[in-house]
Amino acid sequence: MDNLTQEIDKTVRAILEDYSGNRTIDYLNENHDLPNREAIIQIIESLLKIVYPGYIRDQTYKNYHPENHIATLIEDVIYRLNQQILKVGKYQESFRNLPEEEQVRAAYDVTLAFMNRIPSVRAYLETDLKASFDGDPAAENYDEIILGYPGLYAITVNRLAHELYLLEVPLIPRIMTEHAHSLTGIDIHPGATIGKYFFIDHGTGIVIGETSVIGNNVKIYQGVTLGAMSTRGGQSLRGRRRHPTIEDDVTIYSGASILGGDTVIGRGSVIGGNCFITKSVPPESRVSIRQQELQINDGSRAPDNAQEQ
């Protein structure tokens, strides 16, 4: 047993010594001033209860005064979100240079500005909910969509994160949308600008890049990518339009890829499945891949185009 203890101690020392390399991943901070991912996820869950009261709530006790409960929930989110915004403020030079007292006030100003935008976010989400119901014949009712549809979940988290992004809050918006991505398979950057009545059907594998602009009444199916032509330029591309614009009333079917910051899909267009688009499409276009020949071999004979061996 003594030998085992020595081996364990040796392993522990080896790993601790590895932290002395002064690399990025060697970062240690005893003050825990980094944002807390778990706390941000908890804030998301609380925000969902505020956005969809009555649908998403604590079922462990009877709510005799729901307004009082929601008021307490809002105050709790303000307190916890403010703590996280204060932590990420260090990523902005203008924030770091403020006296500590002013940092606290600035963090509260941003937190309250975000919370005051929730009614506007909910107004957009009401249109997304209607678009989901109207666009999916399999939907039985609105409850099913709110409680069960990954598309609406991803859109909800993204709309909340987008407001923080517009308020120039570092890191937190991306943690929020990546959490939604991990649960739904839908990857929407918080910087993407998305209009009303947005409907994601099925959703798995959808990627929407940071500078994408999506109009009203847009429907997107699984596996769609709104991406950049190339990211080989790395950080030199920061701040440039890299992703496409999708105008109003566009439907994009599964597996389509639309790339490039100069690419515009005109209003009312329909993009067929598996299309690969790198240039603009006029309004009211129908884009599809020419139908390929389908061959079926039931095993009883060789396919018609089989080569003689």
> Is the pLDDT assigned to residue 126 strictly greater than 70?
yes
pTM: 0.88
Going by pLDDT thresholds of 50, 70 and 90, the confidence category of residue 305 is low
- Least confident segment among 22-26, 71-75, 225-229, 280-284: 22-26
Q: What is the mean pLDDT of residues 121-126?
A: 98
Calculate ∠ Cα 278-283-289, nearest 5°. Answer: 50
150-196: per-residue pLDDT in tens? 999 999 999 999 999 999 999 999 999 999 999 999 999 999 999 99
Q: Distance (Å, rounded) from C-alpha 112 to C-alpha 187?
A: 27
* Whether domain 30-186 has CATH 1.10.3130.10: yes
- Least confident segment among 41-55, 144-158, 293-307: 293-307
Q: For the domain made up of 192-289, give the CATH fold.
A: UDP N-Acetylglucosamine Acyltransferase; domain 1 (2.160.10)
Residue 298, pLDDT score: 78
What are the distances in angstroms from CA 285 to CA 57, 248, 291?
A: 44, 13, 17
- What ranges do the domains of the chain cover? 30-186, 192-289
Q: Is there a shared CATH topology between the 30-186 domain and the 192-289 domain? A: no
Q: What are phi and psi of 135, to 5 degrees?
A: -90, -5
Please state, as a whole number, how many other Cβ atoms lie within 10 Å of the Cβ of residue 304: 7
Q: Distance (Å, rounded) from C-alpha 77 to C-alpha 83?
A: 10
Q: Distance (Å, rounded) from C-alpha 255 to C-alpha 277?
A: 11
Residue 237, pLDDT score: 62
- Least confident segment among 27-36, 111-120, 202-211, 247-256: 27-36
